[in-house]
Amino acid sequence: MPQDKITLFKTTTCEKCKIASFILGRTLESMGIPYDSQVKERFVDTDTNAMVDMMMLNSIDAPVLVIGETVLRVDEATNAKLIKEALIKNGQGQQQ
């Protein structure tokens, strides 16, 4: 299993963040990757360090999904095809 975790920057009230989390979970599941052990969720509305880290990625709106070197912002973070491509590109799973 890859050592680099996947990071999902989100807020506690963002509906699009909930969708991103759901789609990411389904995509990981389809690839045989456990969500809980591979995804680090960071809440930017309650953790200033998370907000700073997200801003360092040139992002001010959540959700932001970081998979290896790939950063998916807002609408990209809810696109299952882009998520799967990023996972494969960054060695997180085998293409099925």
Residue 65 pLDDT exceeds 90: yes
Check which CATH number belongs to the domain holding 66 and give it: 3.40.30.10
Q: Which tens digits make up the pLDDT trace of 68-83?
A: 999 999 999 999 999 9
| DSSP conformation letters of 4-64 | SPEEEEE-SS-HHHHHHHHHHHHHHHHTT--HHHHEEEEETTT-HHHHHHHHHTT--SS-E
Predicted confidence at residue 96, as pLDDT, reads 44
Predicted confidence at residue 3, as pLDDT, reads 43
Q: Which tens digits make up the pLDDT trace of 9-51?
A: 999 999 999 999 999 999 999 999 999 999 999 999 999 999 9
- 95 within domain boundaries: no
- 76 within domain boundaries: yes
- 96 within domain boundaries: no
Number of domains in the chain: 1
Which of the pair, 2 or 88, is modelled with greater confidence? 88
Predicted confidence at residue 32, as pLDDT, reads 92
- 69 within domain boundaries: yes
- Which CA distances in Å does 1 have to 34, 60, 69, 74, 76? 10, 31, 17, 27, 25
Predicted confidence at residue 81, as pLDDT, reads 97
- 12 within domain boundaries: yes
Domain boundaries, position 40? 6-89
The letter for the amino acid at 21 is S
Predicted confidence at residue 4, as pLDDT, reads 59
- 82 within domain boundaries: yes
- Which CA distances in Å does 29 have to 53, 54, 72? 27, 25, 19
